Structure 1
Amino acid sequence: MKLTVVAATGGIGRHLVEQAVAAGHEVTAVARRPRGLPEGVHPVAVDLAAPAMAALGAAVRGADAVLSGLGPRDPRADVGITSRGTRAIVAAMQAEHVRRIIVVSAAPVGPVPVPGEPAPPRHDPGDGFFMRHLGARFARAMFGRHYADLALTEQILRESGLEWTVSRPPKLTDKPLTGHYRVALNRNIRGGFSVPRADVAHHMLRMLDEPETVKQVVGIAS
């Protein structure tokens, strides 16, 4: 496949690039400073905080799919980049007639209100007692503005008309790839408190061959 990886030098993006290359895909890597990439990867410099649409359009042109690990470096400070960047990615894909996109969100996002849906369910159906009453509340207190931006990002995708999939992991770790994780459609994973970034990337690539994940939110955890 011909893949475009956005935020290609970030925590999940670098795993996406490495695993996609190892699998034999043709990869275009989009990043603010696309350095240190594997041989054969086509680098495209785009700052998703203020994207140059011509460069972004060229990066997605002809792609079979776009995979985005876009997110703030500091979830408590650099708020808004995910929704702004995703809006630009969607516009570039629509202009270039590219359909498939898979993005990373976060497990606590489901109950976060967005314009047009001010009263979402109080809890994600996959959350157990701890997450319903303590974990999710603490996470939203710490990173509420970040989760609100991710909820807006998901809304942008739902309204895009594209063939989107949202991956919702819990706490991300830097443990090595295992290839063993639990997934579920439209719900979080009961008792799933963390997952390696490498495994999230592995699953994102796997979903390219899973049409049942199109226009779905997918929970993932170890």
Structure 2
Amino acid sequence: MKLTVVAASGGIGRQLLEQAVGAGHEVTAVVRDPGKLGDVGVRVVRADLARAGAGELREAVAGADAVLSGLGAVGKAGVGVAEAGTRAVVGAMREAGVRRLLVVSAAPVGTVASPDRPNPPRHDPGEGPVMRYVLTPVVKRVLRAHYADLARMEDVVLAGGLDWTVVRPPRLTDGPLTCDYRVAYGQNLRGGSKVSRADVAHCMLRGVSDPDTVGRILGVAY
């Protein structure tokens, strides 16, 4: 398949890139700074995804069977890139006639308000008592701006008219690829407090050709 990986030099983006190449896919990598990517032997397109009108994206997604995005803020300065960058990606895909989009969000986002969903549920149905009353409230306070950005990003994805999948992992680690993770549709996973970036990438790549994941939100965790 022909795949476009957005934010390919980031934690999940790098895993998407390496696993896709390893599986024999034809990959285009979209990055703001190609120097961070190194020599990876794939087509590289430079685009500043913090600017919603990034025209280079049309060329990057043209002809792709699917677009996979690892966009997300790194530090306070990056807050906003998930929404703005995804809006640019969705626009470029619609112009190019590309329909399959998979993005990574975060487990707490299902209970975060957004413009299109001002009254989200107070609790995720998949959370146990410790996650619901202790861990999630703490994390949401610390990363409030990041999760608000991701919630707005999800609004963009769901309203974009594409064949989308949103993957919501909990705490990300740099652990190895295990392929031994759990997936739940429309909710988080009870007892699932972490998952490696490598396994999130594997889940996304596996979902590219799985029709059951289209138009669905996936919780993924160990």
State if a TM-score over 0.5 links the two structures.
yes
Give the deviation of 1:47 after TM superposition: 1.1
Match of 2:3 in 1: 3
Query: Is residue 52–residue 87 contact of structure 2 (8 Å, CA) maintained in 1?
Result: no
What aligned pairs does 1:113-132 form with structure 2 within 5 A after superposition?
113-132=113-132
CA distance in 2, matches of 1:155, 1:199: 25
Alignment of 1:59 with 2:29, yes or no, is: no
Q: Secondary structure at the match of 1:205?
A: helix
Match of 1:13 in 2: 13
Alignment of 1:44 with 2:45, yes or no, is: yes
Give the deviation of 1:72 after TM superposition: 1.2
Question: Aligned in 2, Cα 1:189/1:87: closer, same or farther, shift over 3 Å?
Answer: same
Match of 1:84 in 2: 84
CA distance in 2, matches of 1:175, 1:182: 16
Stretches of structure 1 that go unaligned for 5 or more consecutive residues are none
Residue deviations 1:140-186 (CA, integer Å, cap 9, x gap): 11001111111111111111100000000000000111111000100
Q: Secondary structure at the match of 1:220?
A: strand
Query: Is residue 128–residue 190 contact of structure 1 (8 Å, CA) maintained in 2?
Result: yes
CA distance in 2, matches of 1:53, 1:120: 31
Give the deviation of 1:131 after TM superposition: 1.4
Q: Secondary structure at the match of 1:177?
A: coil
What aligned pairs does 1:99-118 form with structure 2 within 5 A after superposition?
99-118=99-118
Match of 1:220 in 2: 220
Identity %: 57
Query: Is residue 170–residue 220 contact of structure 1 (8 Å, CA) maintained in 2?
Result: yes
Give the deviation of 1:54 after TM superposition: 2.6
Q: Residue type matched to 2:79 in 1?
A: V
Match of 1:144 in 2: 144
Give the deviation of 1:132 after TM superposition: 1.1
Query: Is residue 4–residue 30 contact of structure 2 (8 Å, CA) maintained in 1?
Result: yes
Q: Higher mean Cα deviation, 183-192 or 28-37? A: 28-37
Match of 1:191 in 2: 191
RMSD, matched Cα? 1.1
Q: Secondary structure at the match of 1:13?
A: helix
Q: Residue type matched to 1:195 in 2?
A: V
TM-score of the superposed pair, with normalisation by structure 2? 0.96
CA distance in 1, matches of 2:184, 2:119: 23
Stretches of structure 2 that go unaligned for 5 or more consecutive residues are none
Give the aligned length: 220
Alignment of 1:156 with 2:156, yes or no, is: yes
Q: Residue type matched to 2:61 in 1?
A: V
Question: Aligned in 2, Cα 1:208/1:81: closer, same or farther, shift over 3 Å?
Answer: same
Match of 2:204 in 1: 204
Give the deviation of 1:79 after TM superposition: 1.0
Give the deviation of 1:78 after TM superposition: 2.1
Give the deviation of 1:117 after TM superposition: 2.2
Alignment of 1:68 with 2:69, yes or no, is: yes
Query: Is residue 46–residue 52 contact of structure 1 (8 Å, CA) maintained in 2?
Result: no
CA distance in 1, matches of 2:87, 2:53: 13
